[in-house]
Amino acid sequence: MQKTLKSDVVFTGVGLHCGRDMTLRVRPAAAQTGIWFRRTDISDADPFISANWQFAVHTALCTRLVNNDGLGVSTVEHIMAAIAGCGINNVVVELDGPEVPIMDGSALEFVRGFLKAGLIEQAVPVQVLEILQSVEVEENGAYAALVPFGGIEMDFSIDFPDEAIGQQSKTLNLANGSFVHELCDSRTFCRNSDVQVMRSKGLALGGTLMNAVVIDGAHVLSPGGMRHPDEPVRHKMLDAMGDLALAGGPIIGRYVGRRAGHTLTNKLLRKLFSQNGAFRSVDCDAQAAGRLPGAGLVQEDVYIYA
């Protein structure tokens, strides 16, 4: 069955790129509502923005959604990953500015907040998208694909010249809380040489060593180093989870990413929805629902960092 939150959950933090303090409130919503963002600071335009692939605009450093009035919200990928990873189907995400707060650079705080509030089932089946034909996109040496598979799986690999990252690969079946157990605490990362370039372009104004893993060659500049030896590839998988959540429901299939990013994953969804016979939408029965990402999660499933 579809799920929503038992109560409101509030988060506060800084926007990674805009550098502004933000307050975000996630509210329960009725069955069949889906996921919506609402800009509470706007009164002269439609404040609602659908969390749907059709409203994503191409940016290299984050996922941005823009409605038909031109109103947008940026850096939605981490909270979208948390929503999908916890098996939430219906909420309204209210925020008082243009960007979702970055928190610690991962989805951990969102997951922790959702599971603490608790989830309730709604009397409507979850609708899933079952991949029937392989769909793939390739651009500038990066590759992404969705292929038929009897569950929800992700296979990702990255290759960076920095010794602290290098080549990393990971394959993960995302059923039964694997996102929460394996991916949700992995933080966004960047190369130290890119920080000043981004700031000169008005980006990463809220970035610090505490909300991003900053790499300088063989060195990790952020205190405490990596949370996992392969934290960068895990974070890329987290990002892909959030970007794929814009499909409107869980995707039953295997996602393959090779150096893929936000833009390529969105182009993959656009190709999926334009290719006749590539997928079908079906109601999820009880057996299949037990294999979805948020099935059986409880608050204790989140490891609490010291």
Q: Would you please indicate which residues are annotated as catalytic (active-site) residues?
A: 262
| Contact criterion met (CB below 8 Å) for 172 and 252 | no
Residue 157 to residue 143: CA distance in whole angstroms: 10
Alpha carbon distances (Å) from 86 to 149, 252, 279: 21, 16, 23
Residue 68 to residue 52: CA distance in whole angstroms: 13
| Contact criterion met (CB below 8 Å) for 85 and 217 | no
Residue 242 to residue 188: CA distance in whole angstroms: 13
Residue 187 to residue 161: CA distance in whole angstroms: 19
